[in-house]
Amino acid sequence: MTSDETLRPKARAPRGFQDRRAATLIAERAILDAVSAVYESYGFERLETGAFEYADALGKFLPDADRPNEGVFALQDDDEQWMALRYDLTAPLARFAAENWDSLAKPFRRYAFGSVWRNEKPGPGRYREFLQCDADTVGSERPEADAEIIAMAVQGYAAAGLPAGACTLKINNRKLLNGLLAAAGVEDTGQKLAVLRAVDKLDRLGVDGVTALLGAGRKDESGAFTKGAGLGTAAAGSVLAYLGAGGGGRQATLDRLAGVIGGSAEGDEGLSELGKIGEALTRLGVTDEQAVFEPSVVRGLEYYTGAVFEAEIAFAGGEGEKLGSMGGGGRYDDLVARFTGQRTPATGFSFGVSRLAAALAAGGAAAAKVARGPVVVLALDNGQMGEYFAMAAELRAAGIAAEVYLGTSGMRPQMKYADRRNAPAAVIVGGDEIAAGTVTIKDLDLGRALAADVSDNRAWREDRPGQVTAPRADLVSAVRKIVEAAG
């Protein structure tokens, strides 16, 4: 191979992973800061766990001997134990709680955010690495603990920038349907799961599609057949009546559910828990519009043990875009027990930060975050580089981000560079300014705004809008005035 035939790798990111620049990171940081403040106001402690967990701590995502990377990104440590990048933030919490239970104040209330990784097929909007933000209470079986998590989620979405009415928390209790099926004589675990899967498809398939899946099965438009749960007419009718009990205020939904569920011990327990959640939500100031009882919410078919909740986001006006589920959670009383053998009640909520940031931008709920660049000190005279660095240092010492242009281009490319950096101002010091002891400062934000209305380029050049000259000693105050005006 000759030197001209050197093998060069193709510059490409791995599938399912993305590069995120400043504007995206700023938007995500703003969300995390706002939501973290809500969690901390409720007394939740921040916890940060490592990116790797031992694979056997990940529950159903445990790699088997033949497929050590099934669902997770795993590697074998030098002691031959399998480790995996965390799939979510809940499994690390369960491990931490079990490992430190004796020393924790109980109930243990923690929030966390960070990247999680999933070894799954990527697709549009579906990444193998993404940010999650969770809040959980471990060690309380009170339904009020669920209500508190729901109230924090409502406040968190509002603090993140969603407009009023854009987010609704939908709440259910897995015990309701379990009790209904038990009363109908449905005991087979596989049949119960088939019913839950059918219920979970209500939004997508409608009542007719769910009815078919509760019975013999359903053939889709492609001709593919999905086997149904095989319920009898009476049992299927009870499930459909249960699904139709939603709508209206929380108490009205509870009253209708009682008429459908009543008589089953587990169902009555679920109704009681929902009633306590509803009462606590009312006292916490969460309205019926912000949080509703919705019987079709299922979530985590084999994961959740009681209350479940899901955040649905839709923007009014415009196209009225319905963006679907943006987060969810519920009660999972068996997770910590995997480590300890003792039932430990827990409840929590999780949302995807990156997806929420995209939803905010798509719905116009918040102005698009633009990465604000530093003030750029132009380098117009190689003999004055020391002075340019001194000016940038003065600005930084005054709390103003600044940089010296370190390329080799002329003035016009340097101004173009400052514009691309979204700099609020450019400091221009050439021979004339050095001789006069002055600095020229270009207000780039004002220039951009005025440029939109330019009709006479000659007048524009002569007027030099947004450009001021100040004594060298007034550099900081003159720049600060421009930066603060830009917000």
Q: What is the mean pLDDT of the segment spanning 420-437?
A: 93
Strands 217-219, 82-85: pairing kind: unpaired
Position 96 scores a pLDDT of 96
Position 43 scores a pLDDT of 96
Position 124 scores a pLDDT of 77
| pLDDT band for position 131 (cuts 50, 70, 90) | very high
Position 324 scores a pLDDT of 64
Position 287 scores a pLDDT of 95
Query: Of the ranges 199-213, 268-282, 384-398, 405-419, which one carries the lowest mean pLDDT score?
Result: 199-213
- Given a cut of 70, whether residue 457 has pLDDT beyond it is no
What are the residues whose beta carbons fall under 8 Å from the beta carbon of 266, sequence distance 6 or more? 175, 178, 179, 182
Position 370 scores a pLDDT of 62
Sheet holding 82-85, edge to edge: 52-54, 82-85, 74-76
Spatial separation of the C-alpha atoms in residues 194 and 473, rounded to whole Å: 76
What one-character DSSP code corresponds to residue 369?
P
Structure tokens at 371: 């990465």
Structure tokens at 78: 């030098």
Position 450 scores a pLDDT of 61
Position 320 scores a pLDDT of 44
Q: Is 22-51+86-186+231-363 CATH 3.40.50.1000?
A: no
The residue among 111, 93, 95 whose CA lies nearest residue 54 is 95
Query: What is the 3-class SS of 195-262, one letter each residue?
Result: HHHHHHCHHHHHHHHHHHHHCCEEECCCCCEEECCCCCHHHHHHHHHHHCCCCCCHHHHHHHHHHHHC
Q: What percent of the chain has pLDDT over 70?
A: 88
Query: Of the ranges 118-127, 338-347, 360-369, 419-428, which one carries the lowest mean pLDDT score?
Result: 360-369
Q: What is the mean pLDDT of the segment spanning 141-150?
A: 97
Q: What is the mean pLDDT of the segment spanning 164-182?
A: 90
What are the residues whose beta carbons fall under 8 Å from the beta carbon of 88, sequence distance 6 or more? 116, 132, 134, 350
Q: Where in the chain is the domain with CATH 3.40.50.800?
A: 375-486
| pLDDT band for position 461 (cuts 50, 70, 90) | very low
- Strand ranges (E), 1-97: 45-46, 52-54, 74-76, 82-85
Q: What is the mean pLDDT of the segment spanning 21-49?
A: 93
Position 319 scores a pLDDT of 43
- Strand ranges (E), 241-345: 291-293, 307-314, 322-331
Q: Where in the chain is the domain with CATH 3.30.930.10?
A: 22-51+86-186+231-363
Q: What is the mean pLDDT of the segment spanning 442-461?
A: 62
Cβ atoms of residues 354 and 130 within 8 Å? yes
- Given a cut of 60, whether residue 60 has pLDDT beyond it is no
Position 2 scores a pLDDT of 55
- Given a cut of 50, whether residue 235 has pLDDT beyond it is yes
Structure tokens at 159: 């603090």
| CA trace torsion 315, 318, 321, 326 (10° rounding) | -30
Query: Of the ranges 242-246, 301-305, 364-368, 433-437, which one carries the lowest mean pLDDT score?
Result: 364-368
Q: What is the mean pLDDT of the segment spanning 58-66?
A: 54
- Given a cut of 70, whether residue 160 has pLDDT beyond it is yes
Average pLDDT, the chain: 87
Cβ atoms of residues 62 and 55 within 8 Å? yes
Q: What is the mean pLDDT of the segment spanning 460-480?
A: 81
Cβ atoms of residues 39 and 381 within 8 Å? no
Q: What is the mean pLDDT of the segment spanning 133-160?
A: 96
pLDDT in tens, 216-231: 888 888 878 888 888 8
Cβ atoms of residues 351 and 338 within 8 Å? no
- Given a cut of 60, whether residue 68 has pLDDT beyond it is no
pLDDT in tens, 397-424: 999 999 999 999 999 999 999 999 999 9
| pLDDT band for position 7 (cuts 50, 70, 90) | confident
Alpha carbon separation from 346 to 108, 177, 198, 266 (Å, rounded): 9, 21, 27, 19
Spatial separation of the C-alpha atoms in residues 139 and 342, rounded to whole Å: 11
What counts of helices (H) and strands (E) characterise the chain?
Answer: 17, 18
Domain 375-486 sits in CATH at 3.40.50.800
pLDDT in tens, 309-361: 999 887 654 444 556 678 999 999 888 888 888 889 999 999 989 888 887 87
Higher pLDDT, 74 or 44: 44
- Given a cut of 60, whether residue 65 has pLDDT beyond it is no
Cβ atoms of residues 87 and 61 within 8 Å? yes
- Given a cut of 60, whether residue 455 has pLDDT beyond it is no
Cβ atoms of residues 235 and 186 within 8 Å? yes
Q: How many residues does the chain have?
A: 487
